[in-house]
Amino acid sequence: MTVAGVPAAGAVLRLRGRELGPDRPVVMAVVNRTTDSFYAAARYDEAGADAAVARAAEEGADLVDLGGVRAGRGPRVAAQEEIARVVPLVERVRARHPELLVSVDTWRSSVARAAAQAGADLVNDTWAGHDPELVAVAAEHGLGVVCSHTGGARPRTDPFRVTYPADPQRVADPLDGVVDDVVVTLAAAARRAVDLGIDPASVLVDPTHDFGKTTWHSLHLVRRTQALVALGHPVLMALSRKDFVGESLDLPPEERLEGTLAATAVAAWLGARVFRTHDVRATRRTLDMVATIRADRPPAAAVRGLA
C-alpha cells in the first residue's frame, strides 16, 4: 500500500526461499560467542548462547547473527578458534529452531565455508570484503551476503581522523561526502555479489555505522537512509548501542537502548528493512509500530470506536 508523504518501502529480503516484505520488518538478534564484546550483556559462553537464541526466537527475532570475534580491538582469534566458537552453534540453532534464519558475522572465507556447510543462511561480512573470497563462498553455497562499508579500514581497527571529502559543486552538505562514498562502495560490492549469482534480494547493504566513521558521519547516514534504499537491495542497519548513540547522549553501552530505538524508528520510517539488535523485544515492537504507521502492516486489533 502506498500512502502519500510516506517514504518508499525498502526491498524485499529473501533467504533460502523465505521472503520477508515490508509488512514484516526483519529483526536480526546479536548472539556473540565472545568474552570481550563491547556490551557486557552480550558476552555468551556455549550454554548462554543457546539460551540467548531461544530467548530471541521467543521475543520475535527472524534472524540470529552469530559471531565469534569481537569487531573492535582485542586478543587475536585464529580462524580455527572462530570456527570452533561459531559452527557448533550454527548446527544447534538449525536443529532446535528451524523457523529462524541464521547469519554468521565473519570476514573470513574459511569461517563462512564451514558455517555454510553447517546450515547458515547469510554471511554478515562487516569488514567490507577484506577477504575477497568470502562473497564467492556465499555464492557457491547459496547463501545471502551483507555488503558493508568501512572506508578502507582493516578488520578490528578503530577510526582515527577519518574524512570523506564532498564535491562542493554537487552537494550542499559537506557530510554528504560519506554518503557518496558509502553508496558507491555498496553499489559495487552488491553488483559483484549479483554477478556471482547471488539473488539481489539476498544481498543486503549496510552503511556500517561507527566502522571507519565519526559520530557525525554515522548520524548523517541515518538521516540519509533513503539514499541507501535507492540501491534496490534490503538495507541492514546495525545501530544497536553503538558509540554514535552513546556519544550523542553521553551514555555508556548499558544505557543506550532508548537512543538506539530512536535511530531505529527513523531508519525504518525511511525504508531500512533489517535491524541488528541486542534488544529483540523492544526492537520488534518499535519496528512493528513504525510499519503500522507507514501502513505496511495492519494494527493487530482495531476496534476502538467501532465496537
Q: Express each pLDDT in 110-126 by its tens digit.
A: 999 999 999 999 999 99
Confidence at residue 219, expressed as pLDDT on a 0 to 100 scale? 98
What's the whole-number mean pLDDT along residues 260-277? 98
What's the whole-number mean pLDDT along residues 201-214? 97
pLDDT averaged over the chain? Answer: 95
Residues 6+ apart with CB under 8 A from 258: none
What's the whole-number mean pLDDT along residues 243-253? 98
At 157, is the pLDDT very low, low, confident or very high (cuts 50, 70, 90)? confident
Query: Could you tell me if 115 and 108 are in contact, meaning their C-beta atoms sit under 8 angstroms apart?
Result: no
pLDDT at 184 over 70: yes
As a whole number of angstroms, the distance between CA 122 and CA 45 comes to 22
pLDDT at 307 over 80: no
Stronger pLDDT, 232 or 46, i.e. the higher one: 232
Confidence at residue 207, expressed as pLDDT on a 0 to 100 scale? 98
Q: Is 232 exposed, middle or buried (0-12, 13-18, 19+ CB in 10 A)?
A: middle
Residues 6+ apart with CB under 8 A from 234: 10, 11, 12, 13, 26, 201, 203, 204, 205, 273, 274
User: Which CATH number does 20-293 carry?
Assistant: 3.20.20.20
pLDDT at 192 over 70: yes
Confidence at residue 1, expressed as pLDDT on a 0 to 100 scale? 62
Longest Cα–Cα distance in the chain:
62
Q: Is 90 exposed, middle or buried (0-12, 13-18, 19+ CB in 10 A)?
A: buried
As a whole number of angstroms, the distance between CA 232 and CA 187 comes to 9
Distance of CA 283 to the CA centre of its chain: 13
pLDDT at 254 over 70: yes
Please report, as a single letter, which amino acid is at residue 14.
R
Q: Express each pLDDT in 69-104 by its tens digit.
A: 988 788 889 999 999 999 999 999 999 999 999 999
pLDDT at 59 over 90: yes
pLDDT at 292 over 80: yes
Which of 14-18, 155-159, 195-199 shows the lowest mean pLDDT across its residues?
A: 155-159
pLDDT at 265 over 70: yes
Q: Between the CA of residue 26 and those of 116, 162, 178, 213, 262, what are the distances in Å?
A: 21, 31, 26, 25, 17
For 215, list phi and psi in degrees, rounded to 5: -60, -40
What's the whole-number mean pLDDT along residues 6-26? 96
- The most confident of the ranges 17-26, 39-48, 161-170 is 17-26
At 134, is the pLDDT very low, low, confident or very high (cuts 50, 70, 90)? very high
Confidence at residue 74, expressed as pLDDT on a 0 to 100 scale? 81
What percentage of the chain reaches a pLDDT higher than 90? 85
Q: What are the residue boundaries of the structural domains of the chain, listed by start? A: 20-293
Give, in degrees to the nearest 5, the angle at Cα 53 between 258 and 225. Answer: 40
Query: Could you tell me if 200 and 194 are in contact, meaning their C-beta atoms sit under 8 angstroms apart?
Result: yes
Residues 6+ apart with CB under 8 A from 15: 63, 101, 121, 122, 144, 202
